[in-house]
């Protein structure tokens, strides 16, 4: 068994698909250490040869693994060499899908990047709203929000809000449960009036303490005891107002956002709430 392995993600687009696919697979082998690098926008045979030269030089004959989402057969063929292990997503799935659908695929690099002006405008509006309503800012405009994330400080509200705005085009606001609300087990009217669009993020005291320690080392704010107390108070509030809770501990932003979408009945495709 290999103790370590070099992994390369090659794409003629952003490389997000190749990376997500590869990481979803290699995480099943926690006993192996992986060195990962990404090479997006490989569009020509010349770029492909330069990239392959780099990979072979830095891998020292250890047969690195390449996850590819290259569309061009000529560009893809350059990486199909015995010196590497090539896992090509499109070769594996696209040809089989063509046979199943009895149709030819476009085979256009990065086609998913194309976005109409209406969708782009909606996404820009959502991003601006998200940035303008972060951390309890402009609560009087929370009626316009598609969703509101609630939680104690450093529970993961801001990164999830930004993700849902940029990826789903949703107006995401977030509100921190400070000592003022935790001690009184109370939420402001701007939250309770929109309670059907509120989801709570929680975590473990250990995780919260570790995150807070990175910025406020040794403080009471970052202590395990204080984190545990805040989380317990927050849970009481969530139960009092029947707010669904999602733990952010040990989860990626994408995982949390997906769970938030499910709780609110949001379609990932349309970015709309199911009434």
Together in a domain, 174 and 75: no
How confident is the model at residue 267, as a pLDDT? 62
Largest CA distance in the chain: 66
- As for how many domains the chain has, the answer is 2
Note the Cα 167 to chain centre separation in Å: 9
Together in a domain, 154 and 225: yes
From first to last of its 275 residues, the chain has per-residue pLDDT tens of 889 999 999 999 888 889 989 999 999 999 999 999 999 999 999 999 999 999 999 998 899 999 999 989 899 999 999 999 999 988 778 888 888 998 988 777 665 555 566 677 888 999 999 999 999 999 999 999 999 999 999 999 999 999 999 888 999 999 999 999 999 999 999 999 999 999 999 999 999 999 999 999 999 999 999 999 999 999 999 999 999 999 999 999 989 999 999 999 986 544 555 44
Together in a domain, 10 and 81: yes
Together in a domain, 137 and 235: yes
Task: Flag whether 272 is in a domain.
Answer: no
Together in a domain, 123 and 187: yes
Task: Flag whether 69 is in a domain.
Answer: yes
How confident is the model at residue 274, as a pLDDT? 46
Together in a domain, 143 and 222: yes
Task: Examine the fold and report which residue of 112, 143, 175 is the final residue of a domain before the chain moves on.
Answer: 112
Task: Examine the fold and report which residue of 112, 128, 148 is the final residue of a domain before the chain moves on.
Answer: 112
How confident is the model at residue 269, as a pLDDT? 46
- Look up the domain containing 54 and give its range: 4-112
Residues 171, 182: Cα–Cα separation, whole Å:
26
Residues 223, 202: Cα–Cα separation, whole Å:
16
Q: Which residues pair with 202 in a beta bridge?
A: 247
Together in a domain, 127 and 242: yes
Task: Flag whether 275 is in a domain.
Answer: no
Which domain CATH number covers 155?
3.40.50
Task: Examine the fold and report which residue of 65, 86, 112 is the final residue of a domain before the chain moves on.
Answer: 112
How confident is the model at residue 68, as a pLDDT? 95
Task: Flag whether 10 is in a domain.
Answer: yes
Together in a domain, 240 and 157: yes
How far apart are the two ends of the chain, measured CA to CA in Å?
52
Together in a domain, 253 and 139: yes
Residues 164, 34: Cα–Cα separation, whole Å:
29
Task: Flag whether 77 is in a domain.
Answer: yes
Together in a domain, 131 and 31: no
- The H-or-E segment that residue 149 falls in is strand 147-151
How confident is the model at residue 270, as a pLDDT? 47
């Amino acid at each position: 068994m290999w103790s370590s392995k070099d992994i390369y993600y090659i794409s003629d687009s952003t490389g997000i698909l190749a990376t997500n696919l590869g990481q979803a697979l290699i995480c099943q082998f926690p006993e192996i250490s992986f060195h990962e690098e990404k090479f997006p926008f490989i569009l020509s045979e010349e770029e492909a040869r330069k990239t392959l030269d780099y990979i072979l030089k830095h891998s020292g004959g250890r047969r690195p693994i390449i996850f590819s989402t290259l569309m061009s057969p000529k560009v893809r063929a350059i990486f199909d060499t015995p010196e590497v292990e090539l896992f090509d997503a499109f070769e594996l799935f696209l040809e089989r899908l063509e046979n199943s659908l009895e149709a030819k695929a476009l085979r256009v690099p990065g086609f998913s990047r194309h976005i109409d002006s209406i969708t782009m405008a909606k996404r820009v509006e959502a991003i601006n709203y998200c940035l303008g309503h972060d951390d309890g800012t402009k609560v009087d405009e929370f009626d316009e929000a598609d969703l509101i994330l609630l939680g104690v400080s450093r529970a993961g509200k801001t990164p999830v809000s930004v993700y849902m705005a940029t990826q789903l085009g949703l107006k995401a606001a977030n509100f921190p449960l400070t000592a003022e609300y935790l001690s009184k087990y109370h939420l402001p009217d701007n939250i309770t009036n929109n309670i059907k669009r509120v989801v709570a993020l929680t975590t473990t005291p250990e995780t919260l303490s570790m995150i807070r320690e990175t910025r406020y080392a040794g403080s009471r704010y970052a202590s395990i005891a204080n984190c545990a107390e805040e989380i317990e108070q927050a849970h009481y509030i969530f139960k009092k107002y029947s707010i669904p809770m999602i733990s952010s501990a040990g989860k990626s932003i994408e995982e949390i956002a997906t769970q938030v979408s499910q709780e609110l009945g949001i379609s990932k495709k349309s970015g709309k709430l199911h009434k």
